[in-house]
Chains A and B, each alone.
Chain A
Amino acid sequence: MIIRKSTDLRYSDVTPKQVYLNRRKFLAAGSAALAAPLVRGNTPLAAAVKSPFSTTEKITPKDLALHYNNYYEFGTGKEDPGRNAPGKLVSIPEWTIRIEGEVAKPRTIDLDALRKIAPMEERIYRHRCVERWSMVFPWIGYSLSALLKQVEPTSKAKYVAFQSYYNSKFELSSFSAGIEFPYVEGLRMDEAMHPLTLLAFGVYGEMLPDQMGAQVRLAVPWKYGYKSIKSIVKIKLVEKEPPTTWNLAAANEYGFYSNVNPEVDHPRWSQKKERRLPELFPRDTIKFNGYGDQVAGMYAGMDLRKYH
């Protein structure tokens, strides 16, 4: 595993010379504190392994991905998070994840320790939003199962609940966004342990940018995007199905499972098609977002209309 920390880097590794010379002028002007997050946001994150789970489809241009986000804590417009989030999360000094609940070894793990749990892989996943658009991201991370095994789930652990970072000082209020904060999500134990479920630390060869869920998030590629919770600070293994944010907001529209499924419409729109951004014309949506071979077995015999 190669994780280069910013101390090992020369500025020229990260930033073109012309740009960092400008930044020196900027720093000289006395704005060192402002510049620091810019450096970290660009920190490369190398993946030792190219994953066989990767799609060969065309990766969404990074510039588009950084300016079209659903991250309601930073604004409900698509361009809001790209404007409001940068620097906010990556500058938090001590990022930790608390893992507790039905586990033999509850722990609080800091980011450095988290990154060393398993080799970093690059996984190019399709990402299908419930709003009928999709993108393709080159995530960097490892299977969530590697982390969960470390804390030794007990036999009572049937579900995994996740919670996002939330700070009302610089993030939207629940009242404004119309959904409850902190954001919470959940997976069934077998889903959480599935090798496709990725704990992602980076994307596009770099550490996660704020608007895409720094410092650590999920990528669950066969489910609608909101299941892939961003900026995780807490994981709790539980016996009963945990509450999830969008389900709390509108249970008839957003189920606990939220598997990508063209056969089950959202009450307000059809899910048969999606727009692969930045394409203009829609294409057909594939059940389980095309990951059916790997995941359909987990839902054998389930009424996917009822458990949408």
Chain B
Amino acid sequence: MVKKILLSPWTKAVVFALCLVPLAELLWRAYNQDLTANPVEFITHTTGDWTIRFLMITLSVTPLRLLLRQPQLVRFRRMFGLFAFFYAMLHFTTWFCIDKFFDFQEMGKDILKRPFITIGMAALLMLAPLAVTSTNGWVRRLGYRRWQKLHRLIYAIALCGVIHYYWLVKSDIRLPLLYGAIWAALMAARLIEWRRRRVLAPVT
């Protein structure tokens, strides 16, 4: 039953629509002029929040499918990853177009001078090739092993995202720490699985 639901194209469509809800809510609030006194900050923070959430969701697919014994879950991994990239681009675009007003020089200065921007930018630059090579064609072209190696970059990207957030906040570090803990837990799950496999079936 669960398997049937997971394999249904309808499920994929529903999940896709759900992933767009945060954007829809933003547009709805914009339409109602309900983006607080500081719309730019509100949009930047909301898209940033959703980027880090989608990174965590993407990272949780593998542990979840092992834990729940539902390998079909992997069907959604690419979509979640691409949505992380989608919200990251909205996040970056808001900053660059409105905050920096297309000023490349100012942007460059900020990237070099402000560690939290440096690391955020690094995360986005690492995320871009993963988005590009997310297609089946690219998996074939690179070969699965190499493709998988490349896509392990997401571990570093998510960590950079957490640090970016941690360095940004003024004093209330509860949320950045929570995301840091989630990241650590998801990494630990991988480590445990990796060690278990090594014990069960030593790779030659």
Contact = CB atoms under 8 A, between A and B. Distances in A.
Contact of A72 (B37, B40, B98, B171): B171
Interface stretch (A100-108, A112-120, A272-280): A272-280
Interface stretch (A2-10, A31-39, A62-70, A137-145): A62-70
B38 interface: yes
B167 interface: yes
A2 B41 CA distance: 40
Contact of A249 (B38, B41, B115, B171): B171
Contacts of B174: 176, 178
A271 to B, nearest CB: 12
Given A275-B38, A277-B37, A280-B40, A269 B114 contact: yes
A79 interface: yes
A53 to B, nearest CB: 24
A78 interface: yes
A306 interface: no
Nearest to A265: B113
A268 interface: yes
A79 B38 CA distance: 11
Nearest to B43: A280
25 contacts: A64-B36, A65-B37, A68-B36, A68-B37, A68-B38, A72-B172, A78-B36, A135-B37, A176-B172, A177-B171, A177-B172, A178-B170, A178-B172, A178-B174, A249-B170, A249-B171, A250-B170, A250-B171, A268-B114, A268-B168, A269-B110, A269-B114, A270-B109, A275-B40, A282-B99
Given A78-B36, A280-B98, A133 B171 contact: no
B37 A67 contact: yes
B144 interface: no
For chain A, the bracket of interface size reads: 20 to 34
The size class of the interface chain B forms with chain A is 20 to 34
Secondary structure at the B interface, as helix, strand, loop or mixed, is helix
B38 A133 contact: yes
Interface of A: 60, 64-65, 67-68, 72, 76, 78-79, 131, 133, 135, 176-179, 249-250, 268-270, 275, 277-278, 280-282
B22 interface: no
B39 A76 contact: no
Nearest to A61: B37
- State the 8 A-B residue pairs at the shortest beta-carbon distance, nearest first: A178-B171, A68-B37, A64-B37, A76-B172, A277-B37, A178-B172, A179-B171, A68-B36
Interface string B162-188: 000001111111100000000000000
A68 B114 CA distance: 26
Contacts of B109: 270
A270 B112 CA distance: 12
A95 B89 CA distance: 50
A281 B110 contact: no
Contacts of A275: 38, 40-41
B194 interface: no
Given A268-B114, A269-B114, A270-B110, A278 B37 contact: yes
Nearest to A68: B37
Q: Which of B39, B115, B171 has the most CB of A within 10 A?
A: B171
B54 interface: no
B69 to A, nearest CB: 39
Interface string B96-131: 001101000000011000111000000000000000
A133 B41 contact: yes
Contacts of A131: 170
Contacts of A249: 170-171
Contacts of B110: 269-270
Given A64-B36, A78-B42, A177-B171, 11 more contacts: A65-B37, A67-B37, A72-B172, A76-B170, A176-B174, A178-B174, A250-B170, A269-B110, A275-B40, A275-B41, A277-B38
A82 B41 CA distance: 17
Interface string B11-51: 00000000000000000000000001111111000000000
Contacts of A78: 36-38, 41-42
Contacts of A177: 171-172
Contacts of A270: 109-110
A67 B167 CA distance: 25
Given A68-B37, A133-B38, A268-B114, A281 B171 contact: no
Nearest to B171: A178
Nearest to A254: B170
A295 to B, nearest CB: 26
A277 B167 CA distance: 24
A185 B174 CA distance: 25
